[in-house]
Structure 1
Amino acid sequence: MVRARDRGSEHKYLAVRAYLSELVANELSVGDAVPSERSLTERFGVSRMTVRQAVDALVTEGILERAQGRGTFVAPPRADFEMRLTTFGEEARRRGLTPGADILETAVVPAPRTVAEALDRDVATPMHFVLRLRTADGTPMSLEETWVPVDLAPDLLSDGVPESIYGALRARGLDPTWGEETITAADATPQERETLQMQGSHAVMRTSRRTFGGDAPLMYSRASYRGDRYSVFVPLREARPTLVPRTRASAPAATTPAGRVPEGSPR
C-alpha cells in the first residue's frame, strides 16, 4: 500500500513533469533551455530530487536533453519509424525527413560465421559489404552494416553504393518479399558515440535483419540506432505461427578480415 506521504510526493513529481511537458509543447522551441532545478524547486515547493526525477523521465523519453555544464534543453523530436520491409531512406521520406548516407566502407570480404549462417552460405563465401552512417535532416541516426552474397549480384557495387540496396536487388530480379528482425537495447561503444555524435544518452537500439525473396535469403544487415533520436512504431495483429527459416549446418569458423567491424558491432 502506498503511504499518503509517498502519494503526495508522486503527485508533485507528476506536476513538475506535466509543467515541463506543457512548456515544451506550447512555449519552447528545440534548443531552448528549460527552467533550472532550483527555480522548479522553489516554484513547486518540492525537493531537488523530485525535480530531478521529473527531468530524468523527460530526458529518457527524448523530450529533453542535458548538456554537461550548460543545463537542460528541449531535444529535437525523435524519428518514429514503422517496422516494415523498407529501407531507412524510404521510411525517412514517409515521415517528411530528408535521408542521407555517408559511405564509411565498402569491400568484398569472406563471410564470417554469423553472416554465412544467416544467408545460408558457407563460411568465407564472398560477400558485398557496406558500412554507412545514416542521417535524417542531417542528424546522424544510425550506423548500418549490410552484407549481400556476391553470387547473387556480382555487379551490385560496380558503380558505387546504390541509394537503395533493396531497389538495386529488385532491378536484378531479386525482389525482397519478407524478412525477420531482432531488436535489442545496449550501451553505445565509444566509436558509436563519436560517429553518431551522442552527447547525453548513450543508449542504442541494435537490430539485425534477414531479408528474403521467397525462400531465398538475399541480404543480412545490422544497425545501431541512437536511442535519443529514434523510436519504433510496431503495428500489432492477431498471433500467428512464427516463420523461422532453416539455415545450413554451420561450417568451421573463419577469421574476420583485418580492419573488419567485429561480430555484434553495428552494420
Structure 2
Amino acid sequence: MRNDTAQPLYQQLEDQLTRLIGEGTLPPGTTLPAERQLAERLSISRTTVQRSYNALRQRRLLSAQGRLGSIVQGPGPRLHSGMDRLKGFTEEMRELGRVPSSRILEREVVTDRSISSIFGRPSNAAFLRLVRVRSGDGVPMSREAAWYNLERAPDLATDDLSGSVYARLAALGLPLVRCDQTIEAAEPTEEECAIFGFRQPVPCLLIKRRSYGADGDMLEYVEGLFRGDTYTYRLTLTI
C-alpha cells in the first residue's frame, strides 16, 4: 500500500484486488483472507479491508460464503445453462459464448460390475472410462468421469476424443436422443479443489447422467462435478 498518494487506502486495495482478479492471479474460486487477517498482514485497519471487500462484492467480483470468507467470483457473469434439451458440454459452452476445451486426465478400457449394473450389461462387459477437465475460455468448469458402452461403440476405444464425444457418437451413427439426469450438491475432493483453483472446498453441483441412443440402449454414464461459484442451471416449467 502507498502513502504517497491522495487515493484512500481502501480504494488502493480495491484497485489492487481488481487487477489481480482481472489478470487471473486470483482466479474464480480463490478464497481471500479474512478481513482481520488481511488487515494485520498489510498493517492497515480492518475497516479499510472491510470497505474494499464490500465494494468488490457490490461489483460481483467477490461473494460472501459464510465461514469460508470471501471468494473470488471473477470478472464475468455466472453461467446460466438451460435444461430444455440434451446437449454436451462443448455445445453448451458455445451457446453461452465460451470457447470449450478439454483435458484428458485418464483414459482406459475397464470392466466394472457396478458400471455394468448401471448399463444393464453382463459383469464382464467392457467400457471406455474417460476422465476429463472441461473448460470454458480456459477456466476449468467441471471434472467429469464418463463410461461408454464399447459393445455398441467399439471405435471410441481408439478414437480421438479431445473434442465432443457426442459429435463422435453421432458420426458413428449413434446419436444420443434422450437422457435421465440428476443434480445434487457435493463438496469437491482435494484433487478437484486443485483443478478448480479452490484454496478451500466450495459447494459444487454433481450431475449424474444416463444417455440413450435411438434404439433405447444406454450408451453413456457420466458423473460430472461443476463448480458452484460460477455455474447455475436454469429450468423453464410450463403448465
- Same fold? TM cut 0.5: yes
Kindly state the Cα deviation for residue 79 of structure 1 after the two structures are TM-superposed: 2.1
Matches of 1:73 and 1:129, distance apart in 2: 33
2:207–2:225: 8 Å Cα contact kept in structure 1?
yes
User: Does structure 1 residue 228 correspond to structure 2 residue 221?
Assistant: no
Matches of 1:225 and 1:123, distance apart in 2: 30
1:125 aligned partner: 125
Structure 1 residue identity aligned to 2:74: A
Matches within 5 A, 1:200-215: 202-214=202-214, 215=216
Question: Is 87-96 or 118-127 further displaced after alignment?
Answer: 118-127
Kindly state the Cα deviation for residue 129 of structure 1 after the two structures are TM-superposed: 1.1
User: Does structure 1 residue 107 correspond to structure 2 residue 108?
Assistant: yes
1:38 aligned partner: 47
Q: Cα–Cα, structure 1 residues 197 and 112, in superposed 2: closer, same or farther, change >3 Å?
A: farther
Q: Cα–Cα, structure 1 residues 231 and 72, in superposed 2: closer, same or farther, change >3 Å?
A: closer
1:110–1:125: 8 Å Cα contact kept in structure 2?
yes
Matches of 1:121 and 1:88, distance apart in 2: 26
Structure 2 residue identity aligned to 1:222: E
1:251 aligned partner: none
Identical positions, percent: 29
Q: Please provide the CA RMSD for this pair.
A: 3.2
1:65–1:200: 8 Å Cα contact kept in structure 2?
no
Matches of 2:228 and 2:185, distance apart in 1: 9
Kindly state the Cα deviation for residue 133 of structure 1 after the two structures are TM-superposed: 0.4
User: Does structure 1 residue 64 correspond to structure 2 residue 66?
Assistant: no
Show CA shifts across 1:85-125 (max 9, x none): 11111010111101110011111000341x22322212231
Structure 1 residue identity aligned to 2:153: A
1:30–1:75: 8 Å Cα contact kept in structure 2?
no
Kindly state the Cα deviation for residue 204 of structure 1 after the two structures are TM-superposed: 1.3
1:94 aligned partner: 95
Structure 2 residue identity aligned to 1:75: G
SS in 2 for 1:117: helix
Matches of 1:117 and 1:179, distance apart in 2: 17
Structure 2 residue identity aligned to 1:137: D
Show CA shifts across 1:214-250 (max 9, x none): 3221111111111112111112233xxxxxxxxxxxx
Matches of 1:143 and 1:73, distance apart in 2: 20
2:143 aligned partner: 143
SS in 2 for 1:31: helix
Question: Is 137-146 or 148-157 further displaced after alignment?
Answer: 148-157
Q: Cα–Cα, structure 1 residues 204 and 173, in superposed 2: closer, same or farther, change >3 Å?
A: same
Structure 1 residue identity aligned to 2:183: I
SS in 1 for 2:166: helix
Matches of 1:196 and 1:72, distance apart in 2: 13
- What is the TM-score with the length of structure 1 in the denominator? 0.63
SS in 2 for 1:222: strand
In structure 2, list runs of 5 or more residues that go unmatched.
Answer: 1-13, 27-34, 36-45, 65-69
1:65–1:75: 8 Å Cα contact kept in structure 2?
no
2:238 aligned partner: 237
- What is the TM-score with the length of structure 2 in the denominator? 0.69
1:175 aligned partner: 175
1:183–1:208: 8 Å Cα contact kept in structure 2?
yes
Alignment length (residue pairs)? 193
In structure 1, list runs of 5 or more residues that go unmatched.
Answer: 1-23, 44-51, 239-267
